[in-house]
Structure 1
């Protein structure tokens, strides 16, 4: 969530606020992209097969 910043009469302060908001937006987008790609990896059939094989392997060795 991006917090609102009051506009100042000082243009330099406004520029700083805009840059800070842009950095927050960028980092949020990166976090969303990473989350989506991780979710896609975990939803792939090959990953599910690997998980099942791992469970079977640990059950056999116990």
Structure 2
């Protein structure tokens, strides 16, 4: 759910709000057994940083 909210805010070009939800989703996903979902959340978090033109952080994710 948090990941979907982050994706929705990214599509509205609101990366600051998207990051808030994606960072929460990453914390939850990190502790789950679903590593592919965790990777998807991190990838989306990278896209949020990319929209903010923070390219170093985007690459890190």
TM-score range, shorter chain: 0.3 to 0.5
Q: Return the TM-score normalized by structure 2.
A: 0.42
Larger Rg: 1
Could you say which structure has the greater relative contact order, defined with CA pairs below 8 angstroms and 6 or more residues apart? 2
Q: Return the TM-score normalized by structure 1.
A: 0.41
